[in-house]
A = this chain, B = another copy of it.
Amino acid sequence: MNGFNDEIRLFIRVLEFMGTFAGAISGVRLSSAKRFDWFGASVVGLITAVGGGTLRDTLIDAPVFWMEDPFYIITSLLAVVAVAVFGRRFISGQVTWFVFDTVSISLFMVIGLQKSLFYGQSWWCAIILGVITAVAGGILRDVCINEVPLIFRKELYALACAAGGFLYFALPFVGLENLYARNVLSVLVIFVIRALAIKYHLGVPVLDGRGAPFRHRR
């Protein structure tokens, strides 16, 4: 990521650490429900934290981010330690859980979008790669614990990320060019959409077994 403006690099780094920590927590939390051992849970935490970004870097043929810098691995392991030490405080409570979960995906969305743009991807690829960065880790996590990935069934996960991505590219058309503002607004929008979706149980219409017309999730 040589072409990077140092300020932006630092900005992205901070986001990445926060998202990595949150992602690892979610991985450890869900593995614990399957009575994985601590090592297995750590691996799933790691996969959840860096899985999306690893897939993104493979697709854009960038060097894999966590291999260039030990801090991602260290951050993930810190999350495992945090769960081991503050177990209940860290992962019980729907609110805490929602915050970690949503902070993680909204940050990863913006990070993935930014990095893809820096690697010369088109705006629509950047959005898709952002969504991949945000949700692929969670999909890999759910595959590892042998569950149907939550994001295919739960409230507006990936769709919220996509909305944040579109906003990022829409803002300049309404005169807002500032990179920081656009990133922050995207994160906020994703966070708000997720919060509303959970508060009001909003969801995407469900496909019934016959793949027939719309019917709402019971």
Residues of A within 8 A of B (CB): 28-29, 31-41, 43-44, 54, 58-61, 63-64, 67, 70, 73, 83-84, 87-88, 90-92, 121-122, 124-125, 128, 139, 143-149, 151-153, 156, 158-159, 203-214, 217
With A54-B59, A59-B67, A67-B121: A211-B28 Cβ-Cβ less than 8 Å: yes
Cβ contact within 8 Å between A139 and B144: yes
Q: How far is the CB of A112 from chain B (nearest CB, A)?
A: 13
Q: How far is the CB of A105 from chain B (nearest CB, A)?
A: 14
A139, A204, A213, most chain B CB atoms within 10 A: A204
Closest 9 CB pairs of A and B: A40-B152, A37-B204, A32-B211, A32-B207, A146-B148, A39-B204, A87-B212, A36-B152, A87-B211
Query: A205 to chain B: which residues have CB within 8 Å?
Result: 37-38
Cβ contact within 8 Å between A206 and B88: no
Query: A38 to chain B: which residues have CB within 8 Å?
Result: 204-207, 214
**5 pairs from A and B in contact (CB 8 Å cutoff):** A33-B211, A43-B152, A67-B121, A83-B211, A91-B211
